[in-house]
């Protein structure tokens, strides 16, 4: 069976000291080494080996721990009840967005890395979810809440937390620093003695960046990550990891030390739990993003495919797959041990930085205008010259790929077309809860919070959602049942294995076609996506042997020319000719 290949645990990774010397002085490297030895020995006693590998059954549902609530019940229990009732047969993995105590950003300003927010439940509730699903936890390790014990101790001048954070003279020239926001990079804080400190805050005042120049920060973070593995995480998502190492006078993104840190973290984690999958979240241009695969065996095993969501939106807007096809045909991986984490929507908006080298300024501006015309919003970031540029689209994904004024049937077809592309792309699919249940933009949520990302972070009352999903002819019900059907068919096909070979087929402009190759048999699958508003005829390639089967309809294919509905999808399973690769 293919999958993430296991490693044999070592007492301590052999080249760990070399990595530490790249980051720290000789004395601090030796102290860090001793600390890591202790962590590995400690967690080896606590963590039982698990037989975990990626395959075609893997679909990761991205959800908040309090996504579904019921009065009188802890939200994590309510979430489990909803999932067990509705999706257990088609979803096997949960990415539970930060469920730790937090002070802002819906979880991404963590107060305590090792606790569960009492607003959501307890570690026992997480354990109950693990009994039915593989789990992905967030390592929010670029920054921590200003209300955390760590930062409070820093402001209290506790020597144990000296240099845990990055203090900079505000007169320092920081113009080269790449900014994902328009908020100030430095914020002012006063310590217990009234002294002013200007602290590095990449994302907001409430999210103070950690100082990895201090090896004690590395040890504290490694302890947290290993704790997550002990508590049941099989996948670890490293949030905003591209910004983690800072050097004054540089861009402070993608620095060599950042890659060194990730590689070190992987080695330490795998010394205890070789099956752990590391996923890097770097919302940046595509070539920068895939650098986090490293050499294919030393860094992330999965990387977010950030270019995919805006490219699908662009393709839907122009009804022409040429740009997306050209990009997909150039996709390559450094080894057969890594793959993409494909998604179209998440708790954040649809990032535009990943397509700055794929779409023209005019094409990006057209996406911005389209989303604003549909009631959505756009977030901006600051450039080196002080100007602002679009950073992400803020709207539910169904409102990005379809117009709210269109009939529900058309909206469902467009949304399912977008999701079908994501499900067929090489790698592991990530399905956002709101995409699964057909959520439209939560404009009222933005008015209530003043935060643009609230537009796609609505929380549901359990009874309300149950009623909506059973309403005949309703948008949620139509989309949810269509999605479940597609997922149930997908999981039975070996051609969807995340490490399977693939080919992007040349076709007419309106078609985006993926050839999925099952190397263990002569069976293959052709995923055909019609981005036109009209039915189109698709001519099967010569390597397809007839008769074939169209899996979504269950019909037998006996002719080389097939009609594909407007915004339609075909999954054609066939045997390939032996004289074609």
Distance CA 394, CA 377 (A): 5
Contact yes or no for 76/125 (Cβ under 8 A):
yes
Query: What is the per-residue DSSP string for 288-337?
Result: HHGGGGTTSSSS-SEEE-TTHHHHHHHHHHHT--HHHHHHHHT---SSTT
Phi, psi of 566 (to 5 degrees): -55, 130
Name the catalytic one among 239, 320, 399, 442. Answer: 239
239 catalytically annotated: yes
Query: What is the per-residue DSSP string for 359-387?
Result: S-HHHHHHHHHHHHHTT-EEEEEE-TTS-
Contacts of 447 (CB under 8 A, 6+ apart): none
Query: What is the per-residue DSSP string for 177-238?
Result: S--SSSS-SEEEEE-TTS-EEEEE-SSBTTEEEB-TTSHHHHHHHHHHHHHHHHTTEEEEEE
Reference 136, options 87, 80, 78, 63; nearest CA is 63
Gyration radius of the chain's alpha carbons: 24
Distance CA 35, CA 264 (A): 14
Catalytic machinery residues = 239
């Amino acid at each position: 069976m293919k999958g993430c290949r296991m490693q044999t645990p070592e007492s301590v990774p052999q080249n760990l000291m070399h990595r530490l010397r790249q980051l720290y002085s000789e004395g601090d490297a030796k102290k860090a080494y001793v600390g890591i030895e202790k962590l590995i020995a400690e967690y080896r006693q606590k963590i039982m080996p698990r037989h975990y590998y990626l395959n075609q059954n893997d679909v990761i549902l991205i959800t908040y721990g309090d996504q579904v609530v019921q009065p009188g019940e802890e939200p994590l229990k309510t979430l489990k009840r909803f999932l067990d009732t509705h999706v257990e047969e088609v979803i096997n993995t949960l990415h539970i967005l930060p469920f730790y105590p937090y002070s802002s950003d819906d979880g991404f300003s963590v107060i305590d890395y090792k606790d569960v927010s009492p607003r959501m439940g307890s570690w026992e509730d997480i354990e109950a979810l693990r009994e039915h699903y593989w789990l992905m936890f967030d390592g929010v390790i670029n920054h921590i809440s200003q209300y955390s014990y760590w930062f409070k101790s820093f402001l209290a001048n506790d020597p144990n937390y000296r240099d845990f954070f990055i203090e900079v003279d505000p007169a320092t020239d920081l113009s080269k620093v790449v900014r994902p926001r328009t908020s100030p990079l430095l914020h002012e804080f006063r310590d217990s003695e009234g002294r002013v400190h200007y602290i590095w805050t990449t994302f907001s005042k409430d999210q103070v960046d950690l100082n990895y120049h201090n090896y004690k920060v590395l040890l504290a973070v490694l302890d947290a990550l290993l704790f997550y593995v002990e508590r049941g995480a099989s996948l670890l998502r490293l949030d905003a990891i591209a910004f983690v190492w800072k050097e004054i006078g540089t861009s402070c993104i993608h620095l060599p030390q950042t890659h060194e840190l990730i590689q070190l973290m992987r080695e330490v984690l795998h010394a205890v739990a070789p099956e752990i999958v590391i996923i890097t979240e770097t919302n940046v241009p595509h070539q920068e993003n895939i650098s986090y695969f490293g050499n294919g065996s030393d860094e992330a095993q999965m990387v977010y495919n950030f270019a995919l969501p805006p490219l699908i939106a662009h393709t839907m807007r122009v009804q022409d797959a040429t740009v997306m096809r050209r990009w997909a045909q150039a996709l390559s991986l450094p080894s057969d041990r890594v793959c993409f984490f494909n998604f179209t929507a998440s708790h954040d908006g649809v990032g535009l930085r990943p397509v700055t080298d794929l779409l023209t300024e005019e094409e990006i501006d057209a996406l911005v205008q389209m989303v604003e015309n549909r009631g959505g919003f756009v977030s901006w970031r600051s450039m080196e010259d002080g100007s602002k540029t679009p950073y992400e689209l803020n709207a539910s994904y169904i409102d990005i790929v379809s117009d709210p004024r269109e009939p529900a049937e058309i909206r469902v077809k467009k949304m399912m077309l977008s999701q079908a592309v994501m499900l067929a792309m090489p790698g592991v699919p990530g399905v956002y809860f709101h995409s699964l249940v057909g959520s439209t933009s939560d404009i009222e949520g933005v008015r209530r919070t003043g935060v643009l990302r609230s537009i796609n972070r609505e929380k549901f009352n359990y009874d309300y959602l149950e009623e909506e999903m059973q309403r005949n002819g309703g948008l949620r019900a139509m989309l949810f049942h269509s999605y479940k059907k597609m997922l149930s068919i997908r999981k039975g096909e070996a051609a969807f294995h995340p490490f399977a070979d693939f080919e992007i087929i040349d076709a007419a402009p309106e078609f985006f076609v993926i050839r999925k190759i099952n190397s263990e048999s002569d069976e293959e699958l052709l995923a055909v996506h019609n981005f036109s508003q009209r039915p189109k005829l698709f001519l099967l390639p010569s390597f397809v042997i007839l008769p074939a089967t169209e899996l979504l309809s269950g019909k037998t294919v006996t002719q080389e020319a097939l009609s594909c509905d407007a915004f339609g999808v075909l999954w054609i399973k066939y045997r390939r000719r032996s004289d074609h690769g």
